[in-house]
Amino acid sequence: MLPRIASRAKVTLPQAKPLPPAMVPGGVAPAIKTDYPDVAVNTDLERFGEISLEVVANKDKRLWREMMQTHHPEGWSRVPGRQVCYWITSTLYGRVGGIGFCAASWHQGARDKWIGWSQSARVENLDKVVNNHRFLLLPGVRVKNLASRVLSLAVRRVVCEWKQFYGVSPVLAYSYISSDREGTSYRAAGWEMCEEKTSGRPAGKGTVESKTVWMKPLRAKWKERLVEEPARKMGAVPEPYYAEDTDWAHMEYCRSSYPDARVRERIIYIGRRWADNPGKSIPQMFPRESERKAAYRLFSNPRVTMEDILQPHREAMISRCRLERVVLAVQDTTTLNCTGLEDTPGLVKIGGGGKGILAHAGLAITEGRRPLGVYEFNTEQRGEKDEAESAKWVKGLLRAKEIGEACEGTRVISVCDREADIWEFLREAAENGDEAVVRSKKGNERCVVEDGEDGKECLWKHIQKQPVLGNKTIEIRACGGKRKRESREAELEIRAAMVRVIPPVRESSQSPIEVLGVSVYEPQPPEGKERLHWVLLSTEGEAELECAQRIVKWYEARWTVEEYFKVLKSGLAAEKKRFDNVEDLHKSLAFDAITAYRVFELERLARDKPEVPADKVMTGDEVDVLYKLLNHAGIITALPAQQWVPDIRTYVIDIARYAGFSPTKRQALPGTKKLWQGYVKFKMAYMGFVAAREYILSEQSRGP
């Protein structure tokens, strides 16, 4: 492969060097001698002389291996990777043995359970663990307590030499001991034996015996260092090369940094099946028993988290965000009804006496409200209610900041509703220089430093006293539920002022925060309609009309996340997902969240970029099959020309037409629910079409 790459890159490779005999296929490494001389020493530790460890020089490494091959019960076997070997010497008797350390093995069940780290933490911190793979005192050496003394010296020395040679300071060492040995010297040197042993599974012609595993911490707070999860910053995974026939699921799920390649491939496959079979149960998505078992294993695997599934989607989202000058990071909380799964432990009570999941989601969108991806999806509800409430909003703010750090030249603004009007959120945004727009909660204990009584005045009253900077007309969208209302237009007055928000009593030791307050007030609401009055707080901007109008525009876009929730709930079908615990259900919800984004993206593309060719968003097969289905159903009378490709607006309308949508002048584009219905129906038919075509091709390949 290298010569071909070099030829394309027009690079001249250096002359290849011959491999050592042991590395040549079919080659034989020089045999290690087995005649290393023994020594006879029978004394006590006080008369043994000064004990020291000497690092084995390169010229003596073969001699050290000969000693192990001759006298160690397991002989010598080559270890890959890093290693440090020592001679055990005495000032009176010379070399009396050796001890060696090598890099830790990729996986060891007893060791990993004893440490208690996750798979991601293991991959990140494995280089901080060393394996004491050989320890030998020559058979003729009979000195009581010598072995434990050597082990104590060795664990102190290896920390220094390992750091010097490889630039990493190990914090933990482990070793294997045959089950027929008690490990007295290791125990005396402060090593701890794991409860579990090695598996002892077959190896080649014979079997590997089960061994005990011994552990020795080398540093204080070793556990905290090893179990620390790696920081997965957005945008850290480079964008791969995509072939022309790469489907959406592969592009959305392929950039995972999960250490196990099998899990990465399984996530891509499940994501593809999820998108092709929206709203179906697991058995329907995976009719073959082997695939179904593999899917359930992924969901029940404690080492695979919801974050592992969402991470590749975030990486794809970052690529889209980098193309925008301004990205709005909109976050909100919703309840997902899980009727039919009441027996699943871990669900929370929701309205109407049912049970479900509280989901806090963050959606990245453009200023034109086109979705770019789900940057946050949190279903954890821990701690006290107030603490959990503030923590999820602050976490969403930090996630939005990561988008800005990963997208140089892109301005990222966090936009939140009244639930984020929390001191901790405002303080975090102001202190770290994050741009955020929050709607103030009426009646909240917010004050500003002004000339009111005692130098304080209500935020809402203070801003309302400011002069009107201008007017704005906005559309109030219809909504249901407790706040049910019809859509209408509202004529608003805009006011703005710089204010200093005083901390609540519980945080009285902290300093006030200076923010921009913008008031949006409807002076004359229609008869029988509730007056619209917003007070928005922004960490950036000046009390000017242009700035205030821009902040109001950003807050208006917050409704996009509500539309996304509508798509998610329409296709959730949680009652069809049968899992033993709520954690598995949360992982499946991650696939639902990404698939819902896909449907929502189609709807918004049809509105914002209607001229985009459909085959740039969907595969050519999907475009071709849709119109064959429409023709077969009698919705269109003739198939389009072979080279014709519709724009995305036409394609989205036609998907909805497949579910009964009929475009009119009043409603030219389908709503979220109708588009979702058409998408589900089309995907089911498309999968049947693909299966039939593959069957026909396989039959034709067999011949007559």
pLDDT (tens digit per residue) in 226-257: 999 887 788 888 888 887 778 888 999 999 98
Model confidence at 22, pLDDT cuts 50, 70, 90, reads low
- What average pLDDT does the segment 80-92 reach? 93
Task: Read off the pTM.
Answer: 0.78
Cβ-count burial 648-657 (b if 16+ within 10 Å, e if not): bbebbbbbbb
Element (H, E) at 149: helix 146-166
Q: Do 377 and 310 meet the contact criterion of CB atoms below 8 Å apart? A: yes
Greater confidence (54 vs 280) lies with 54
Greater confidence (308 vs 207) lies with 308
Question: How far apart are the C-alpha atoms of 430 and 397, rounded to whole Å?
Answer: 11
Cα distances (angstroms) measured from residue 344 to each of 579, 584, 587, 688: 7, 10, 14, 33
Question: How far apart are the C-alpha atoms of 612 and 341, rounded to whole Å?
Answer: 41
Per residue in 496-518, pLDDT (tens digit) is 999 888 888 777 788 888 999 99
Q: What is the predicted pLDDT for the residue at 383?
A: 42
- Cα torsion 207, 211, 213, 214 to 10°: value is -140
Q: Is 315 exposed, middle or buried (0-12, 13-18, 19+ CB in 10 A)?
A: buried
Per residue in 318-367, pLDDT (tens digit) is 999 999 999 999 999 998 888 777 677 778 887 767 788 889 999 999 99
Q: What is the predicted pLDDT for the residue at 162?
A: 96
Q: Is the pLDDT of residue 689 over 70?
A: yes
DSSP 8-state code for residue 581? S
Q: Is the pLDDT of residue 26 over 70?
A: no
**Of 324-333, 566-575, 680-689, minimum mean pLDDT range:** 566-575
Q: Do 197 and 213 meet the contact criterion of CB atoms below 8 Å apart? A: yes
Q: What is the predicted pLDDT for the residue at 443?
A: 66
Question: How far apart are the C-alpha atoms of 379 and 584, rounded to whole Å?
Answer: 12
Sequence-distant (6+) residues with CB within 8 A of 543 are 466, 469, 496, 497, 498, 516
- Of 658, 612, 620, the closest CA to residue 642 belongs to 620
Q: What are phi and psi of 221, to 5 degrees?
A: 55, 35
pLDDT above 90 as % of the chain? 45
- Of 304, 302, 282, the closest CA to residue 293 belongs to 282
Q: What is the predicted pLDDT for the residue at 698?
A: 79
Question: How far apart are the C-alpha atoms of 75 and 436, rounded to whole Å?
Answer: 65
Per residue in 110-166, pLDDT (tens digit) is 999 999 998 888 989 999 999 999 999 999 999 999 999 999 999 999 999 999 999
183: left (phi over 0), alpha (psi -120 to 50) or beta: left
Q: Is the pLDDT of residue 53 over 50?
A: yes
Q: What is the predicted pLDDT for the residue at 461?
A: 86
Per residue in 534-551, pLDDT (tens digit) is 999 999 889 999 999 999
Q: Where are the beta strands (DSSP E) in 522-639?
A: 533-538
- What average pLDDT does the segment 439-460 reach? 70
Model confidence at 384, pLDDT cuts 50, 70, 90, reads very low
Question: How far apart are the C-alpha atoms of 144 and 153, rounded to whole Å?
Answer: 16
pLDDT above 70 as % of the chain? 92
> What is the token pair recorded at 221?
């707070």
Average pLDDT, the chain: 87
Q: What are phi and psi of 365, to 5 degrees?
A: -135, 165
Q: What does the DSSP assignment read for 433-502?
A: T-EEEEEPPTT---EEESSSGGGEEEHHHHHHTSPP-EEEEEEE--B-GGG-B--EEEEEEEEEEEEEEP
Q: Do 161 and 93 meet the contact criterion of CB atoms below 8 Å apart? A: no
Q: What is the predicted pLDDT for the residue at 281?
A: 84
> What is the token pair recorded at 485?
């209302």
Model confidence at 50, pLDDT cuts 50, 70, 90, reads very high
Greater confidence (481 vs 323) lies with 323
Per residue in 601-617, pLDDT (tens digit) is 888 888 888 888 988 88
- What average pLDDT does the segment 25-45 reach? 81
Model confidence at 704, pLDDT cuts 50, 70, 90, reads low
Question: How far apart are the C-alpha atoms of 329 and 410, rounded to whole Å?
Answer: 12
Model confidence at 450, pLDDT cuts 50, 70, 90, reads low
